[in-house]
């Protein structure tokens, strides 16, 4: 980590969390030296991350939280993580969308970021099981009125999850009757062995229906999702056409992914809209 006294709290906390996960634990004095800030600032950052359930404070430092495969963080807890990466991913993913397309967006904080980049793409039909994603388009319509070329939004019914997705038989039935050109899928975890996974069994089934109804599947996931495995797998890597991720993804992971997917887009790097 580079030393920078002017790092924003959000950036510091993302760096701290990355260091904790990478090394399996850090000490406060190490973080003050690496970040160039005071002990008090580091301790406040650790307190904030601990309240969000992102790490566990121990005497003199912090260690990762050992999460069960059934643990599902809420939308608010996830929304403050990897903000720069999510923004880069959303910007790159939006370039894959053509005017007039029928697209689907699953639940998640990365698809929520993507939705905001799609507001200016004309004549979209957007199918989503995410209350948050639907709110992005509805808020834009309330602000600007029913402008020509605005998106038509179809929100599935269903039971609401901690991540504000709608799942269950009602959502599954609605999705099964539809067909869309492009699916943008947020995930809890992604790996070669488990494919795409989630800790929520009902969400896994709804995501399966989304994949089945899409001509092309694009996964939008930052580098921290690589190697994470939830309780239920809902798609193999071979069912994914494109993964849009960020520059934090290690080279070894990129090589593994390239063996299973047709296309990997690393947002924020030169040529991030090129095929591998």
Q: Are residues 81 and 217 in the same domain?
A: yes
Q: How far apart are CA 151 and CA 136, in angstroms?
A: 11
Which CATH number is 202's domain given?
Answer: 3.40.50.1360
Q: How far apart are CA 1 and CA 30, in angstroms?
A: 11
How confident is the model at residue 61, as a pLDDT?
Answer: 87
Q: Given a cut of 80, is residue 177 above it in pLDDT?
A: yes
pTM reported for the whole predicted model: 0.71
**DSSP output for 210-224:** HHHTEEEEEEE--GG
Q: How far apart are CA 93 and CA 249, in angstroms?
A: 16
Q: Are residues 55 and 156 in the same domain?
A: no
Which ranges of the chain does DSSP label H, i.e. alpha helix? 9-23, 28-35, 39-51, 75-79, 83-94, 109-117, 131-144, 169-176, 201-212, 251-258
How confident is the model at residue 249, as a pLDDT?
Answer: 87
Q: Are residues 87 and 58 in the same domain?
A: no
Is residue 32 one of the residues assigned to a domain? yes
Residue 17 belongs to domain spanning: 9-66
Q: How far apart are CA 225 and CA 211, in angstroms?
A: 19
Among candidate residues 39, 36, 40, 29, the one with its CA nearest the CA of residue 11: 36
The answer to whether 101 and 125 are in contact (CB under 8 A) is yes
Between 276 and 208, the more confident residue is: 208
The answer to whether 255 and 267 are in contact (CB under 8 A) is no
The conformation of residue 228, written as its DSSP 8-state character, comes to -
**Percentage of the chain modeled with pLDDT above 90:** 51
What's the total number of domains in the chain? Answer: 2
Is residue 159 one of the residues assigned to a domain? yes
Task: Kindly report, residue by residue over 69-128, the tens digit of the pLDDT.
Answer: 444 555 455 555 567 889 999 999 999 999 999 999 999 889 999 999 999 899 999 999
Between 228 and 128, the more confident residue is: 128
Is residue 274 one of the residues assigned to a domain? no
Q: Given a cut of 80, is residue 145 above it in pLDDT?
A: no
Q: Which two tokens stand for residue 10?
A: 């959000």
How confident is the model at residue 266, as a pLDDT?
Answer: 94
Is residue 4 one of the residues assigned to a domain? no
């Amino acid at each position: 980590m580079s030393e920078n006294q002017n790092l924003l709290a959000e950036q510091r906390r993302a760096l701290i969390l990355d260091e904790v996960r990478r090394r399996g634990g850090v000490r406060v004095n190490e973080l003050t030296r690496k970040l160039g800030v005071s002990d008090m600032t580091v301790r406040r950052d650790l307190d904030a991350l601990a309240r969000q359930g992102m790490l566990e404070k121990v005497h003199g430092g912090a260690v990762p939280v050992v999460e069960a495969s059934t643990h599902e963080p809420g939308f608010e807890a996830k929304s403050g993580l990897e903000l720069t990466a999510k923004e880069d991913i959303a910007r790159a993913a939006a370039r894959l969308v053509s005017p007039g397309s029928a697209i689907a967006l699953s639940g998640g904080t990365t698809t929520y970021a993507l939705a905001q980049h799609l507001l200016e793409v004309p004549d979209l039909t957007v199918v989503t099981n995410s209350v948050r994603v639907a709110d992005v388009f509805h808020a834009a319509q309330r602000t600007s009125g029913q402008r020509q070329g605005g998106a038509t939004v179809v929100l599935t019914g269903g039971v609401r999850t901690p991540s504000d997705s709608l799942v269950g038989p009602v959502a599954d039935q609605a999705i099964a009757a539809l067909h869309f050109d492009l699916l943008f899928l947020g995930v809890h975890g992604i790996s070669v062995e488990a494919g795409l996974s989630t800790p929520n069994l009902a969400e896994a089934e709804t995501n399966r229906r989304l994949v089945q109804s899409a001509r092309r599947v694009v996964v939008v996931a930052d580098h921290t999702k690589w190697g994470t495995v939830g309780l239920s797998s809902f798609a193999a890597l071979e069912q994914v056409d494109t993964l849009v991720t960020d520059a934090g993804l290690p080279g070894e992971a990129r090589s593994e992914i390239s063996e299973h997917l047709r296309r990997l887009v690393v947002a924020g790097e030169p040529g991030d809209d090129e095929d591998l």
